[in-house]
Amino acid sequence: MRIVNPTFGIAPQDEGSATAGPVDWLNDPMVLFSNNKPNARELLEGVRSRLASIRRIDNIDHIAKGSASQPAPPEMINDVVRKYRIALLALGD
Amino acid sequence: MSDTAEAEVLDIPEMDPDAWADFVEAQGWTDGLPLVPPTEDAVARMMDGARGDNEPFAAITPRLLTPTLRSLAANAVMAGCRPAYFPAVLAALRAVLVADYNLHGTLATTHSCAPMIMINGPLRHALNINCGTNCFGQGWRANAAIGRALQLILNNVGGARPGIMDRSTFGSPAKYTFCFGENEEESPFDPYHVRQGFRADESVVTVISSEPNHNLNDHGSTTGRDLLTTFAGGIAAPTANTISAKGPFFIILGPEHAATIARDKWTVPQIQQFLFDTARVPITEVSPENQERYETGGNPPENGFYKVAPTPDDIHVAVAGGPGKHSAWIPSFGGTAAISIRVKPPAAG
């Protein structure tokens, strides 16, 4: 039988892609980006501690969304893109 | 679960009802209950229920695909909708796609929220939507199918599949359907949609991302003030997502409670203000760790108490249900908004 596909939808037009240059994992500035739940911070702090044994950490910052239930504002995303080469995200509950 | 988004019409083998039920389960299309097959004819009849509606839809998160009227109608067919229900389903979808509703957050959260749909206006009678006794419960096709259709759309077009993108810790029965009508005929107040600026003769769908109803039982109080004092105690919960004024919620007054409150000359704004002022969570009921969270989140306590709504206007009041000394609190996700949208009647034809 012929049925209408209930999952059908039109994909967005390809908005192009950007290619980042190579990342220096030992030296490039990094941000630890939290969804603002307590355990996300916990997780990222643990990651930062472990990273200390393999790379410099004086250029690793920690930021959090204003609210776990709301998307990060575009200016925050843009700021991350501008300042850092590496972003590690944590969703913690 | 397969993802067959690329084709709008699918040729599948003829199958009996049992095989069809197994097929849709394997596809991940179902809420767990059997579905009506969305044949091309059935979908065409459903689309006729919304003839003349050419307004495009936004892409539905998290898959970010833009639905077609046809794929939406397929979900309405599967949910068991009559074609006359379809405009209400489309209005509800448009409402949850409004940015302030925060669809992505409400679908991906660990909270147990679901889209509550309240319908106002003449469409309630035209579709036989239950507004009275057991209005949040079973037994009415329109209530069951309209809410179910929206959930299926979010699952199938949106891709908010449970356990994958829908990360709710518990889910809730409201995720099957949560649709009711305001009991305007037994309300002593202006209908909810009129208070939002719509005409009484317009049909309007209001959505909010919420938990199911929590009961507010008061068989003893005989004055409006005493009833509202009981309600304030019931909604001052340190475990609600709206703690520390994080979002809106609904109070659904049962008709008997509403009559008592109105008899004592309370207006809706006065009800909102009283609940806003009185429903407070003492700081002693909040752990030190959470006190710190709320402080850093910009919602510190006032005089040792936490607010439960940002403003009195975030306490939405409506009337529904049947006889009995009960009202209902419908707590929201927090980071959401109550969105009201007019239902477009089908074009003459």
Strand A30-34 to A60-64 pairing: parallel
Q: At CA B237, angle to CA B231 and CA B241, rounded to 5?
A: 115
What is the spatial distance between Cα B250 and Cα A61, in angstroms, rounded to a whole number? 40
Q: Is B2 part of any domain?
A: no
Nearest to B38 among A6, A36, A38 (CB): A6
Does the residue A21 lie in any domain? no
**Contact with chain B for residue A6, Cβ under 8 A:** yes
Contacts of A71 (CB under 8 A, 6+ apart): A65, B104, B105
DSSP annotation of B131 reads -
Answer whether residue A27 is part of any domain: no
Query: Number of structural domains, chain B?
Result: 1
Q: Per the domain annotation, does B9 fall within a domain? A: no
Residue B334 is nearest to which of A7, A69, A93, comparing CB atoms?
A69
- pLDDT tier for residue B2 given thresholds of 50, 70 and 90: very low
| Gap between the terminal Cα atoms of chain B | 40
Q: Which residue is closest to A12 within chain B, CA to CA?
A: B65
- The minimum CA-CA distance between B156 and chain A, rounded to whole Å, is 5
Residue A76 covered by a domain: yes
pLDDT surpassing 80 at residue B1: no
**Nearest by CB to A3, which of B3, B12, B297?**
B12
As for the ipTM of the complex, it is: 0.93
Give domain status of residue A54, yes or no: yes
- Domain assignment present for residue B132? The answer is yes
CB-CB under 8 Å, A6 with B71: yes
Which residues on A lie below 8 Å from B10 (Cβ)? 2-5
**Structure confidence at residue A15 (pLDDT):** 66
Residues of B in contact with A8 (CB under 8 A): 5, 7-8, 65, 67-68, 70-71, 74, 157
- pLDDT for A16 equals 67
Output the pTM of the full model: 0.94
pLDDT tens digit string along B148-201? 999 999 999 999 999 999 999 999 999 999 999 999 999 999 999 999 999 999
Distance CA B247, CA B25 (A): 36
Residue in chain B closest to A93 (alpha carbons) equals B110
Is B65 close to A9, i.e. CB distance below 8 A? yes
B50 DSSP assignment: T
Contacts of A2 in chain B (CB under 8 A): 9-12, 39-40
Is B246 within 8 Å of A93 when comparing Cβ atoms?
A: no
Tell me whether residue A18 is in a domain: no
pLDDT, one tens digit for every residue, chain A (93 residues): 999 999 999 998 876 677 778 899 899 999 999 988 888 888 898 999 999 899 988 999 999 988 888 888 999 999 999 999 999 988 777
In a domain, B5, yes or no: no
Is the residue at B126 inside a domain?
yes
What is the residue range of B299's domain? 17-342
pLDDT at position B182, please?
A: 98
- On whether residue A84 sits in a domain, the answer given is yes
**Gap between the Cα atoms of B252 and B131, Å rounded:** 11
Q: Specify if A63 maps to a domain.
A: yes
Q: How far is A43 from chain B (nearest CA, A)?
A: 17
Say how many domains are in chain A.
Answer: 1
The reply to whether omega before A22 is within 30° of 0 (cis) is no
B239 domain-assigned: yes
Q: Do B74 and A4 touch (CB under 8 A)?
A: yes
* Inter-chain touch B7–A8, beta carbons under 8 Å: yes
State chain B's mean pLDDT as an integer. Answer: 95
* B130 vs B182: CA distance, rounded Å: 9
Contact B137, B104 (CB under 8 A): no
Does a structural domain hold residue B285?
A: yes
- Please give the pLDDT value at position B39: 98
Q: Which of A6, A10, A36 sits opposite B152 (nearest CB)?
A: A6
The closest of B299, B192, B161 to B238, measured between CA atoms, is B299
The answer to whether A93 faces chain B, any CB pair under 8 Å, is yes
Residue B127 pLDDT > 90, yes or no? yes
User: What does the pLDDT read at residue B298?
Assistant: 80
Look at B11 and A2 and tell me if their CB atoms are within 8 Å.
yes
Residue B3 lies in a domain: no
Across the interface, which of A12, A66, A71 has its CB nearest the CB of B64? A12
Both tokens of B76, joined, read: 């309405």
B5, A1: Cβ pair inside 8 Å? Answer: no
Size of interface A-B (CB pairs under 8 A): 110
Q: Which of B8, B104, B335 is the closest to A4 by Cβ?
A: B8
Domain range holding A47?
33-90
* Set of chain A residues whose Cβ sits within 8 Å of the Cβ of B60: 9
